[in-house]
Amino acid sequence: MNVATYKNLLVEVEKGNNCVMITMLSNKNYENKPSRNKTFYTEENLSNKNHISDLDKLLYEKSKYALETGNLQFVKRSENETYLIEPYFPEPRLIILGGGHIAKPLAEFASKTGFSVTVVDDRPSFANSERFPTAQKVICESFDNCFDLINLNKSAYVVIVTRGHRHDMDCLRQVLKHNTAYVGMIGSKRRVKIVMQQMLDDGYSKDKLNKVNAPIGLKIGAVTPDEIAISIISQVISYRRLGATPAITNSIKTNWPEFDHDVLNELCQEANSPGAMITIISTKGSVPRNAGAKMLVWPFGKILGSIGGGCSEGEIIKTARDLINDGGYKLQSIDMTGTIAEDEGMVCGGIMDVIIETF
């Protein structure tokens, strides 16, 4: 297993960079294990010709498309040469600055829609895990000092909902020092105008301030805290899926491949025994996990991660353990549209295509 490749991949993803992993798959030679034929590129690398001299035109175009759409790509060159191209996107993080009445439903909705949530407030009665049970982190710290405790990068979506425009301004000054995916600030038009004018007087550029969504949220006539939270998370989701100016820059909806941090951390460790990695490469219909989800299987019974559980997963695990002895890779389809869906209690079934790689 190419441990160094996965380590470098995780470093880049945790910096907030989108990456693509290219795996050359072959069953021709057991010694030529697919997991050892992996290279990765950041989105920035792919835009720099000096970093892609080893990529031919087709793989380059497929890699760019994978990053643009979030869809895994499969390129079959010959009977013995196939490539799997996997986009890796950083886990989207919602940073909520302020723990008041809007932050509470916002944290809940954000967690349900796939964001890792961090809430910051300087009041212990507001900044605690009992108030925000779905948040990954709850930080009780002043708005002056909290920015040393949160990693603001290109995968961070920042919502400023403090209890006063002084705190809003302090937070906005700090946030604008970083390149984030989204910045939004709550407030009436009058309150926002005061803050923006003060920021302009302090020397901040108009172009930079125009990127701040203020007043925050989509215009849906929201009144209650829950409605306002819905308008905010809807706007954040639009930035995540469509980009900052969806009508102009991006007509393609971006999928977000599942990111199994525990599995990737394990792949960064030196392997003491052979095993297999199972990756969902495409889905159709109602399925428990999306493309990109991974699971590791070892011959002695250990398993890490999941592609959805149930008897369908059990069949794949058995196939993976058989493949460990032979080496190489195998494609397999899991059809949950019939009896499996009924047995598992699913309302409707779907189909998952997976790839099993040995290491």
- List, for residues 279-309, the tens digit of each pLDDT value: 999 999 888 888 999 999 999 889 999 998 7
Q: Closest by alpha carbon to 231, among 215, 208, 250?
A: 215
**Average pLDDT of 312-319?**
88
For tokens 């993803």, the residue is: 13
Q: What percent of the chain has pLDDT over 90?
A: 67
Given a cut of 80, whether residue 266 has pLDDT beyond it is: yes
Long-range contacts of 125-134 (CB under 8 A, 24+ apart): 126/99, 126/100, 127/99, 131/99, 131/104, 132/99, 132/103, 132/104, 132/107, 134/107, 134/108
pLDDT beyond 60 at 257 = yes
Beta strands in 141-265 (DSSP E): 156-160, 182-185
Domains and CATH numbers, the chain: 3-89+256-358 (no CATH), 93-249 (3.40.50.720)
- Rounded Cα distance, 154 and 255, in Å: 17
pLDDT at 256 over 60: yes
Contact 100, 163 (CB under 8 A): yes
> What are the backbone angles phi and psi of residue 124, rounded to the nearest 5°?
-55, -30
Q: What is the mean pLDDT of the chain?
A: 89
Computed over its alpha carbons, how large is the radius of gyration of the chain? 23
pLDDT given for residue 191 in this prediction: 87
* 166-173 mean pLDDT: 92
pLDDT reported for residue 339: 52
- Which tens digits make up the pLDDT trace of 105-139? 999 999 999 999 999 999 999 999 999 999 999 99
Q: What's the burial of 134, exposed, middle or buried (CB within 10 Å: 0-12/13-18/19+)?
A: middle
Q: What is the DSSP string of 258-270?
A: ---HHHHHHHTSP
Identify which of 342, 327, 302, 282 has the alpha carbon closest to the alpha carbon of residue 73: 282
Give 34's pLDDT tier (boundaries 50, 70, 90).
Answer: very low
Residue 2's identity, in one-letter code, is N
pLDDT on residue 325:
86
d(CA 136, CA 258) in angstroms, rounded, equals: 17
Rounded Cα distance, 49 and 259, in Å: 28
Q: Which residue has the tokens 């409707």?
A: 348
Q: In what order do the strands lie in the sheet with 303-305?
A: 303-305, 294-297, 276-285, 350-358, 329-335
Total length of the chain: 359
Q: Any idea which residue has 């989108």 for tokens? A: 18
CA 357, 81, 84, 48: dihedral to nearest 10 degrees?
Answer: 130
CA–CA gap between residue 35 and residue 358 (Å, rounded): 7
Residue 222's pLDDT is 96
- Report the pLDDT value the prediction gives residue 182, as an integer from 0 to 100: 97
Nearest to 49 by CA among 37, 60, 38: 60
What global pTM score does this model have?
A: 0.81
pLDDT at 338 over 90: no
Q: What is the mean predicted confidence (pLDDT) over 150-171? A: 92
The pLDDT value given to residue 1: 60
